[in-house]
Homo-oligomer: A and B are copies of this chain.
Amino acid sequence: MVVFNRRMSNADRHGLIAKVVRDAGGATVQELAELTGASEMTIRRDLDTLAAQGVLERVRGGARTLLLRGEEPPFALRAHEAVEAKRRIAAEICALVTDGESVLLDSGTTCLEVARLLRERPVTLMPLSLQAIHLVAETPGPATLVVPGGQPRASEGALAGPLTLASLAALRFDTAVIGCCGLTAADGLTAYDLDDAAVKKAGIASARRVVAAADGSKLGHTAYAWVGPAALVQTLVTDTDAAAEEVTALEAGGTVVRTV
């Protein structure tokens, strides 16, 4: 493994620690200090920070990964990954949205990037995560913000529950931007969480057009809560990591696939 001469930035080091702990399942403070070139004290502080963010679990002498089971990786952890691909996907989705539309925006890291772009556009925006709501609310822009009710779930603040479903039932959107936890031609659209699946289902039912965002790792993957058949998705935006055979299968089902 490379030893870094230059001092690495705070965020880089956090990302590296997160990656090492995730890949190896755990790491000691010493190992991480040697790897990053930082002092053990700094590593301890980093681990405390990352543990507070829910990226990993602190144990005496080091840290352990949290995702030993088939759960959804914590939001804070995913936020480090594949930022570039997410940005490209988000930009492409924005290009699909026309000014003046009403847009429903699912939770998830990719959709957060979409929110970052869409808040500069004259559209009506209903984001399904607190993070996106905060992002849009804190920067006064041309976008009109509508907040759905609900109870925030987990660290990313995805809204769900009866209030969310009621809010969706009361509205109709031109476009629903749905983040995928899993999407295959055979198993359709799936989510990691039953409540989240119910919200996606309701969101899709309230929208004239459904645009799904899925980076390559999500395509061909099936999570456990079923949302609906792949045919619900009119347009899928994915990246070049997407498996070609899965893309072909989805296109055969009538979905327009845009690879960026």
Chain A residues near B (Cβ < 8 Å)? 130, 133-134, 137, 140, 144-152, 155, 157, 159, 162-163, 166-167, 170
Contacts and interface: CB of A to CB of B under 8 A. Distances in A.
A129 to B, nearest CB: 10
A14 to B, nearest CB: 18
B134 A145 contact: no
Nearest to A130: B137
Contact of A163 (B134, B149, B157): B149
B137 A147 contact: no
A168 to B, nearest CB: 10
Given A137-B157, A157-B137, A163 B167 contact: yes
25 contacts: A130-B134, A130-B137, A133-B133, A134-B137, A137-B152, A137-B157, A140-B155, A144-B151, A145-B151, A146-B150, A146-B151, A147-B148, A147-B149, A147-B151, A147-B159, A147-B163, A148-B149, A149-B149, A149-B163, A149-B167, A163-B167, A163-B170, A166-B166, A166-B167, A167-B167
A163 B151 contact: no
Nearest to A131: B137
Give the oligomeric copy count.
2
A166 B167 CA distance: 8
A166 B159 contact: no
A147 B130 contact: yes
| Of A140, A147, A159, most B-chain CB atoms within 10 Å | A147
A87 B94 CA distance: 43
A158 to B, nearest CB: 11
A146 B144 CA distance: 22
A159 B170 CA distance: 17
Contacts of A148: 147, 149, 163
Contacts of A170: 162-163, 166
Nearest to A171: B163
Given A137-B157, A157-B137, A162-B170, A150 B152 contact: no
Contact of A147 (B140, B144, B152, B166): B152
A83 B232 CA distance: 52
A146 B163 contact: yes
Nearest to A168: B149
A145 B149 contact: no
A140 B140 CA distance: 26
